[in-house]
């Protein structure tokens, strides 16, 4: 059983024991080499004012960095486990919410390939990294219903969080092999994120727009391809926009399939130099349902 199936089975098991609403989505982000992202979540509604929730998503990053002087293939798995320990809602037609949230995000990444050095020597490398983030967060939300129009926005802020990076680098030059390991525990501050949606509810078709962003400052030491320890003070920024609809005419018993498509922009800022060292993005396709 792979990790994608395990993610689905976990949330299905939670849903089967609790007669509350649950949401299941399958996210596919097509890139040059293709990736498959799976997410599932369950909300426990204790009363009209109190709730808790848990969600799990699994991503499989896969990319190739290729030029005349290098070829490096990256693969791995990244998981996000998020839980609203306890949330409270209050208000009338416009409702406000507060919740204590915890996010655990482990990633295992592996790079394999070669780099041609300036003296025409070819360096072969195996670079393995495990990155763990643990973020206690305060979540705030606002939602409103006006006839068929439904609007919601929620944001999270983490004033302090734990970052743990472990890197193992193996390089070979001319038959000589070098192995280095760098454990690098640390902390960060003021990671933020926000997500929102606008839905026009209909019995046959419910158009929907979703938007969101993540901002995570990360400062850590790392080993470059030559095994030299370096320091990077970075800011990771992701912005996404999606649109689509829930297909009520295909649903039954309160469940309806949903199709969304959009784009995500990914940026990484080197805060020491002020330069954007990563500027790319990917198409997003979400196929799921809720009930």
DSSP letters of 46-107?
A: -SSSEEEEEEEEEE--EEEEEETTEEEEEEEEEEEEEEEEEEEEEESSEEEEEEEEEEEEEE
Name the band, by pLDDT with cuts 50, 70 and 90, for residue 93.
confident
Which residues neighbour 7 within 8 Å (Cβ) at sequence distance 6 or greater? 38, 39, 40, 56, 57, 58, 79
Q: Is the pLDDT of residue 22 over 80?
A: no
Query: Looking at residue 195, which CATH number applies to its domain?
Result: 2.40.128
- Residue 206 and residue 252: Cα distance in Å, rounded? 15
What's the mean pLDDT when you consider all of the chain? 85
Q: Is the pLDDT of residue 158 over 90?
A: yes
The pair of three-digit structure tokens given for residue 151, joined into one six-digit string:
């609007």
Sign of CA dihedral 229, 230, 235, 237: negative
Q: What is the rounded average pLDDT of the residues 230-257?
A: 85
Number of structural domains (the chain) is 1
Quick: pLDDT tens for 46-82.
888 888 888 888 888 888 888 999 999 999 999 999 9
pLDDT of residue 12: 46
The rounded percent of the chain whose pLDDT value lies above 90 is: 52
The pair of three-digit structure tokens given for residue 164, joined into one six-digit string:
């743990």
Cβ atoms of 122 and 132 closer than 8 Å: no
Cβ atoms of 63 and 31 closer than 8 Å: yes
Q: What is the rounded average pLDDT of the residues 219-231?
A: 88
Q: What is the pTM of this model?
A: 0.83
User: If 0-12 CB within 10 Å is exposed, 13-18 middle and 19+ buried, where does residue 258 land?
Assistant: buried
* Ordered alpha helix ranges (H), the chain: 3-16
pLDDT of residue 63: 83
Provide the domain limits for residue 122. Answer: 3-290
The gap between the terminal CA atoms of the chain, to the nearest Å, is 26
Name the region of 34 (left: φ>0; alpha: ψ -120 to 50; beta: rest): left
Largest CA distance in the chain: 71
Q: What is the rounded average pLDDT of the residues 144-170?
A: 94
Q: Is the pLDDT of residue 36 over 90?
A: no
pLDDT of residue 34: 60
Q: What is the rounded average pLDDT of the residues 134-142?
A: 96
Sign of CA dihedral 276, 66, 220, 104: positive
Q: Is the pLDDT of residue 104 over 50?
A: yes
Q: Where is pLDDT greater, at 281 or 99?
A: 99
Beta strands in 250-290 (DSSP E): 256-270, 275-290
- Residue 186 and residue 264: Cα distance in Å, rounded? 28
pLDDT of residue 49: 87
pLDDT of residue 271: 94
pLDDT of residue 120: 84
Cβ atoms of 3 and 36 closer than 8 Å: no
- Residue 284 and residue 199: Cα distance in Å, rounded? 19
- Residue 256 and residue 201: Cα distance in Å, rounded? 12
Q: Is the pLDDT of residue 15 over 50?
A: no
């Amino acid at each position: 059983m792979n990790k994608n199936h395990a993610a689905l089975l976990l949330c299905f098991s939670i849903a089967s024991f609790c007669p509350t609403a649950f949401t299941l989505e399958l996210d596919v982000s097509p890139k040059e080499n293709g990736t498959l992202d799976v997410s599932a979540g369950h909300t426990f509604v204790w009363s009209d004012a109190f709730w808790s929730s848990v969600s799990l998503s699994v991503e499989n990053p896969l990319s190739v960095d290729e030029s005349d002087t290098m070829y490096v293939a990256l693969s791995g798995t990244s998981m996000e486990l998020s839980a609203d320990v306890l949330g409270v809602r209050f208000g009338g037609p416009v409702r406000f919410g507060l919740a204590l949230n915890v996010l655990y995000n482990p990633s295992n990444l592996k790079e394999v390939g070669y780099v041609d050095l300036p003296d025409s020597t070819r360096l072969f490398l195996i670079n393995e990294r495990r990155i763990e983030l643990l973020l206690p967060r305060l979540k705030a939300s606002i939602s409103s219903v006006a006839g068929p129009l439904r609007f919601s926005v929620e944001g999270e802020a983490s004033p302090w969080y734990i970052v743990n990076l472990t890197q193992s680098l193996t390089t070979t030059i001319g038959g000589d092999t070098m192995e280095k390991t760098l454990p690098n525990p640390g902390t960060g501050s003021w990671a933020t994120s926000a997500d929102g949606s606008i839905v026009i509810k209909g019995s046959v078709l419910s158009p929907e727009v979703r938007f969101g962003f993540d901002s995570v400052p990360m400062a850590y030491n790392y080993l470059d391809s030559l095994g030299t320890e370096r320091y990077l003070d970075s800011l990771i920024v992701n912005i996404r926009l999606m649109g689509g609809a829930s297909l009520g005419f295909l649903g039954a018993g309160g469940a309806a399939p949903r199709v969304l498509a959009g784009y995500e922009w990914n940026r990484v800022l080197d805060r020491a130099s002020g330069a954007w060292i990563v500027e790319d993005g990917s198409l997003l396709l979400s196929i799921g349902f809720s009930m």
